[in-house]
Amino acid sequence: MSRQPPIKEWSAGAHARKPSRPVSAERSSILIRNAHIIDPASGLDGPGDILIDQSGIVAVGRVPARSKAGQVIDADGLWLIPGIVDLCARFREPGQTRKATFASETHAAQASGITEILLPPDTQPVVDSPAMAIRVQRIADQTGGLDVRLIGALTRNLEGEALAELSALRAAGAVGVSNALAPVRDSLIARRALDYARGLGLTTHVFAQDATLAAGGCAHEGPVATRLGLASVPVAAEVAALRFWISLVEDTGARVHFCRLSTARGVELIESALARQLPVSADVAAHQLFLTDQDVDGFNAQCHVQPPLRTAGDRDALRDAVRSGVISAICSDHQPHEIDAKINPFAMTEPGVSGLETLLPLVLELIRENQVPRLDAVARLTLGPAGIAGTGSGRLAPGCPANLALIDPDCEWTLDPARLRSSGHNTPFAGKRLHGKVLRTFHHGREVFNAVDP
């Protein structure tokens, strides 16, 4: 049996029945006592209390006993962290509801301590116009319980030939622009895009892979791909793309975020750019910090991802970059698929991992292995990605939105794909023993997930 410490609840002054989910407006104030609070923004990493309501965080630290709250939670033995901000999660709606929907993936995110996601523009249709941005945002708002931020398309229909309506997308609420996984083959278009994005104050999210060098490959260029006869993607594909975009940053001063680094050489280029104080940042997908190209052996389609899994040396360099802060965010790169998407020959399967529900446990594993200090690891899930998104979340301070997660860091469990809340059960971590479970998630002061109450 996995350990889940009991959580005691009291009404103000007397025993009360446990509330249903979500917490009603009549019990909007919540006092969480005796938690181990981890807040990278303030450096707090120790015991404390927090008082929240639907207007935001009211107090953090040692909240006076006389403070009135509609609900009191004793969180002794549990960690309290800001709500996780996921820089890349595909919910497949609109256009691919056979794979997932906002309803299913929102529930999976809430159960994973995620309170904010950035949605890439490669929905069907593409988010390249304000009308489409409004349509997707409306679907998200109807589901509720999760802050969904849109990344608008950099070029029309992601074809790389003409700029999308960047100003109109910003006015419609886009927090950044990207060409998703599609290349921008025209260098002049890429430079103009950065000029426009800089003028609008938008961050450009770049998937750094030279399409010509990648040549449709599906595995890392090395002995495993050679032995299996798989078309490969060389390290040079990432390096060439990074050098190209960094040179444009030098010319334009535009802010660029590099998505899903996969190589040691890529880390070196980002580190060099940061040392020169260029306005760049980078993230990594959680699975890249644990898997290597050796896991592809046997044509394991669950390990078909883009960028491809690299060598153990690349994985270790990525971990070092997470620890040092060169990589300032870890994301899920959530791509749910139906079963059929992963049953063809390896090269014909669809790339991607259902990653929402393994994001936090994998990062906790880095802490357990002493790979990344606790405050830094939590920062890569909260403060770092929030800073890249520019949304002001990812911190626990009075006046901030009351987005937070209460977790049991020691709870042991084995991942069973069939029990994932996401509609996508495609995971390379099936059967893996993990530590850490989210017990409660709060979104703007309301409890949206509760694993404790029946």
pLDDT at residue 65 in the model = 65
pLDDT at residue 418 in the model = 96
CB 426 within 8 A of CB 337: yes
* Active-site pick, 122, 333, 376, 408: 333
Lowest-confidence region among 2-6, 211-215, 361-365 = 2-6
pLDDT at residue 445 in the model = 95
The more confidently predicted of residues 20 and 329 is 329
Distance CA 50, CA 60 (A): 4
Per-residue pLDDT of 170-212, as tens digits, reads 999 999 999 999 999 999 999 999 999 999 999 999 999 999 9
pLDDT at residue 12 in the model = 27
Distance CA 115, CA 176 (A): 18
| % of the chain surpassing 70 pLDDT | 93
Per-residue pLDDT of 341-351, as tens digits, reads 999 999 999 99
Q: Give phi and psi for 397, each to the nearest 5.
A: -150, 150
Distance CA 141, CA 252 (A): 35
Q: Check whether 112 has a pLDDT greater than 50.
A: yes
pLDDT at residue 21 in the model = 41
The more confidently predicted of residues 114 and 14 is 114
pLDDT at residue 69 in the model = 76
**Mean pLDDT within 285-293:** 98
SS3 259: strand
CB 405 within 8 A of CB 88: no
Per-residue pLDDT of 393-417, as tens digits, reads 999 999 999 999 999 999 999 999 9
**pLDDT category, 454, cuts 50, 70, 90?**
low
**pLDDT category, 66, cuts 50, 70, 90?**
low
pTM (two decimals)? 0.93
Is the preceding peptide bond at 22 cis, omega within 30 degrees of 0? yes
As given in the structure block, the two tokens for residue 260 are 């899903």
Asked if 333 is an active-site residue, the reply is yes
Residues 6+ apart with CB under 8 A from 407: 78, 79, 80, 81, 113, 360, 436, 437, 438, 439
Residues 6+ apart with CB under 8 A from 224: 230, 293, 294, 296, 297
Per-residue H/E/C for 19-56: CCCCCCHHHCCEEEEEEEEEECCCCEEEEEEEEEECCE
CB 421 within 8 A of CB 367: no
* Structure letter (DSSP) for residue 351: P
Q: Give all domains of the chain, ordered by start, each with its CATH number.
A: 8-82+400-450 (2.30.40.10), 84-389 (3.20.20.140)
* Structure letter (DSSP) for residue 176: E
Distance CA 234, CA 216 (A): 11
Q: Check whether 4 has a pLDDT greater than 80.
A: no
Lowest-confidence region among 16-30, 42-56, 96-110, 300-314 = 16-30
As given in the structure block, the two tokens for residue 186 are 């025209």
Q: Check whether 275 has a pLDDT greater than 80.
A: yes
| % of the chain surpassing 90 pLDDT | 90
pLDDT at residue 28 in the model = 81
Per-residue pLDDT of 315-329, as tens digits, reads 999 999 999 999 999
As given in the structure block, the two tokens for residue 381 are 């899930």
**pLDDT category, 371, cuts 50, 70, 90?**
very high
* Mean predicted lDDT score pLDDT of the chain: 93
Q: Check whether 16 has a pLDDT greater than 70.
A: no
pLDDT at residue 70 in the model = 84
Q: Check whether 82 has a pLDDT greater than 80.
A: yes
pLDDT at residue 89 in the model = 98
Per-residue pLDDT of 411-435, as tens digits, reads 999 999 999 999 999 999 999 999 9
- Count of residues making up the chain: 454
Q: Check whether 13 has a pLDDT greater than 90.
A: no
pLDDT at residue 74 in the model = 94
As given in the structure block, the two tokens for residue 202 are 């938008």
